[in-house]
Amino acid sequence: MKRLTSLDFWRGIAIFFTAMFHFLFTSWDKFSDPNSILGSGNIGLILLAAFIFIFIHWRGFFLMISAVVNFYQLENAVKNGKNLWGVWGKQLFAGLILILVGKLWVTVFPYWGFVEIWSRQIPIGSVPISDIWASHWDMFFLIEAIESIGLMMIVTSFFFLLFQLFKGKYSWMIKMAVCYVIGIVIIAISPIVGDWATNVVGIDITMLEGFRAVSPGVYFHDVFTTLGDFFNNFGLVMYRVAMNWISGREAPLFPMMASYFFGAGIAYVILQDEPKRKHLRWMCLPSLLAVIWGAAEFLFIHDGGFLNGAALDLGFHIHPRWFAFVSFGLQAPLILALLSWVEFNPRINEQRWLKGTRWIRRFGVFALTVYFLGILDFILRFLMSVIVPSGAGADFISRYGLNAMWTWITVAILMLIWTFGLFAWDRIARGYGSFEFFLSLLKIPKAGRKRDWKDPIGLRGSLWDVEMVSYVK
């Protein structure tokens, strides 16, 4: 299958920085109180923190990339003669699997979950992991990027069906415009939806206490202590799951689903019969308007307006409306620019591009594995705590225990481990044992075809024998 290698590149970049910034956000002493950085007076530190702040909140970029690839594959499957309802059914199934995988990740593997808390004990693991699990299993109710993508795949699949009614040379404009308008509306109304959800539930579900609470002051883990309690109250559980999906903490549908619709809109630009490079430039205009809108709201409206004395909160967990608009305005041009430079570029040296970006595209191929196993950085932290002498200004076990020097040294070591580890997983293990491998087992081979056990997750076509999509005539 031909690949949009510019998007493979951005997916790799996104997961690379996700692994890096999650470590920074839980280990660097400066992030124990992110807002204090603004008052430090250190311009270099403020600029670095601003860079990290922007990118740590760019999960929407990953959603947008996923949407472009997803809609590109859906539409091409139908164009190539596959049954529409079969394509739609597979989309629903894939979305459901990602929801379940996302629930597994957010319950067991997140950087702020029970495994991470267990690894932060001094000495490490001194509190039984079963005790921490008993008081933290209700992280289950959190919604993060993987689960969010699954939900959005299901929701947007109905729009994919609707779009099949639009045929003709300019139908891509209608589909793109619809996707962009829906995305803008989602961001615009997200604060209203959030207020509605909080009022209905009776708790602020954007807060740590809220999304894990049955009622004010009462956690789910306090009253659901057995599986029987959980399933006997399954209706309440699913009700709260649904409300958290809509407007809970981290990556709820409002406003994050806007990124998925924007990605779908970009997909329809390159899905037209004869896509043109100039259309990518035109698509930057909505992005510019979004940045202007978001900046104006931040300066004059959000919490009374920054120019009127409102504080900038670096530690938010739900994207405020101004940030959602600015993020879209910055993210979409990055995707469009690289599409223009790679897939629409008649002068690109394909072999040099593929060879030079292979290492970072590998992060994209193993994105789920990196996302799930990032929590195992506690092994590196433990080893560093043994190697580095005490009194060196570094506490590798406690959260926010590292100064700047030891933070960046450890980050560099961590990312080198990932880089060479994924190379070995690719060239030696051939993907076996990765999360991508286990998900591949759910795919049923086409009639008459056997599963390729020598290359179970398609590494050859993704990294080594790549056929690039090209729009150059």
Q: Could you say which of 310, 326, 345 is where a domain stops?
A: 345
How many Cβ atoms sit within 10 Å of the Cβ of residue 227?
8
Same domain membership, residue 316 and residue 256: yes
Q: Could you say which of 282, 314, 345 is where a domain stops?
A: 345
Specify if 101 maps to a domain: yes
pLDDT at 199: 93
Query: Residue 60 pLDDT more than 80?
Result: yes
pLDDT at 75: 95
Is pTM beyond 0.85? Reply is yes
Same domain membership, residue 382 and residue 260: no
Same domain membership, residue 287 and residue 379: no
Query: Cα(190)–Cα(321) distance, rounded to whole angstroms?
Result: 7
Q: Which residues contact 142 (CB under 8 A, 6 or more apart)?
A: 106, 110, 211, 244, 248, 249, 250
pLDDT tens figures, 5-58: 999 999 999 999 888 888 888 888 887 777 666 666 677 666 776 666 666 677
Count of the separate structural domains present in the chain: 2
pLDDT at 50: 67
Same domain membership, residue 119 and residue 165: yes
pLDDT at 447: 61
Same domain membership, residue 414 and residue 333: no
Query: Cα(468)–Cα(461) distance, rounded to whole angstroms?
Result: 10
Among 30, 152, 63, residue whose Cα is nearest residue 367: 63
In the block, residue with structure tokens 């120019």:
307
* pLDDT mean over 447-457: 83
Same domain membership, residue 321 and residue 367: no
pLDDT at 309: 86
Same domain membership, residue 64 and residue 32: no
Among 230, 249, 17, residue whose Cα is nearest residue 112: 249
Residue 188's pLDDT band, with cuts at 50, 70 and 90, is: very high
Same domain membership, residue 195 and residue 69: yes
Same domain membership, residue 286 and residue 224: yes
By residue range, what is the domain housing residue 231? 59-345
Query: Cα(145)–Cα(148) distance, rounded to whole angstroms?
Result: 5
pLDDT at 49: 67
Q: Could you say which of 298, 319, 345 is where a domain stops?
A: 345
Mean pLDDT of the chain: 90
Query: Cα(365)–Cα(413) distance, rounded to whole angstroms?
Result: 21
* pLDDT mean over 176-200: 96
Mean pLDDT is lowest, of 118-127, 172-181, 242-251, for 118-127
Same domain membership, residue 378 and residue 291: no
